[in-house]
DNA sequence: CTTGAGATGTTT
DNA sequence: AACATCTCAAGA
């Protein structure tokens, strides 16, 4: 009997997705009007062995059920009593892993997004996971939906230059955070921390 | 610019 | 009691 493949084996795909999403456009037609951000910050929650993941130790509940869905599903959760945050599921059905969409640069329908966000300036529109969700109209109604078409999908954008790529520890994570699984565009004013 | 407290409800 | 957060007011 041989050793099982280590958790790191399964982490690779999710990490790759988190990195590769930078530069692509997240498009929303929620509410009938189109708007979009260019993704500039993501985080990887790589599976049941990730202590920061909502699916740590295969935890499964009504809240995180969507993490067990097929790749390309949305996992939208409610946190801190008032905010929605959106993830894209990355691994095979039944293996819970996802990428948190943390920040985006407004590129289309900016005034619509600004209105949803209470009239803030451009750099405040989607510079954080809950801000991004609010700007695009993402709520729990989209939990479990596929991001392959309306009302929410990802369009191909310019790949991010390697010089502009930054990595750090994840934000707001305390439980055994050793790896650097936050990926962002260096120097962007639209990330959730100044310049990353 | 920075820091810190309060909001607000679900999950553990 | 913590939480994959945000806003606002106050200070430097």
pLDDT higher than 80, residue A121: yes
**Distance from residue A129 (CA) to nucleotide C5 (C1'), in Å?**
8
Give the nearest nucleotide to A118, CA to C1': C7
Which nucleotides of strand B lie within 7 A of protein CB? 1-2, 7-12
List pLDDT tens digits, range A73-107.
Answer: 999 999 999 999 999 999 999 999 999 999 999 99
Q: How far apart are CA A15 and CA A94, in angstroms?
A: 18
Whether the CB of A121 is less than 7 Å away from nucleic strand B comes out as: no
Which tens digits make up the pLDDT trace of A6-32? 878 878 999 999 999 999 999 999 999
Q: What b/e sequence results for A92-129 when a residue is b if at least 16 CB atoms lie within 10 Å of its CB, and e otherwise? A: eeebbbbbbbbbbbbeebeebbbebbeeeeeebbbbbb
Considering only residues 82-111 of chain A, list those whose CB is below 7 Å from strand C.
82-83, 85, 87, 98, 100
CATH class of A7-185: alpha beta
Which 55-84 residues of chain A approach strand B with CB closer than 7 Å? 59, 61-63, 78-82
């Amino acid at each position: 009997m041989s050793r099982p493949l280590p958790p790191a084996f399964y982490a690779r795909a999710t990490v790759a997705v988190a990195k590769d999403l930078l530069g692509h456009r997240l498009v929303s037609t929620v509410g009938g009007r189109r708007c979009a951000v260019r993704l500039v910050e993501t985080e990887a929650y790589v599976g049941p062995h990730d202590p920061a993941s909502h699916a740590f130790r295969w935890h499964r509940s009504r809240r995180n059920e969507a993490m067990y869905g097929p790749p390309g599903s949305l996992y939208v959760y409610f946190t801190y009593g008032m905010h929605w945050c959106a993830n894209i599921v990355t691994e095979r059905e039944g293996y819970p892993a996802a990428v948190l969409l943390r920040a985006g640069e407004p590129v289309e329908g900016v005034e619509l997004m600004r209105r949803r966000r209470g009239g803030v300036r451009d750099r405040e529109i989607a510079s954080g996971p809950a801000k991004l969700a609010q700007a695009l109209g993402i709520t729990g109604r989209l939990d479990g939906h596929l991001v392959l078409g309306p009302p929410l999908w990802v369009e191909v954008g310019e790949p991010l230059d390697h010089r502009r790529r930054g990595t750090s520890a994840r934000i707001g994570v305390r439980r055994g955070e050793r790896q650097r699984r936050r990926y962002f565009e260096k120097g962007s004013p639209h990330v959730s921390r100044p310049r990353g």
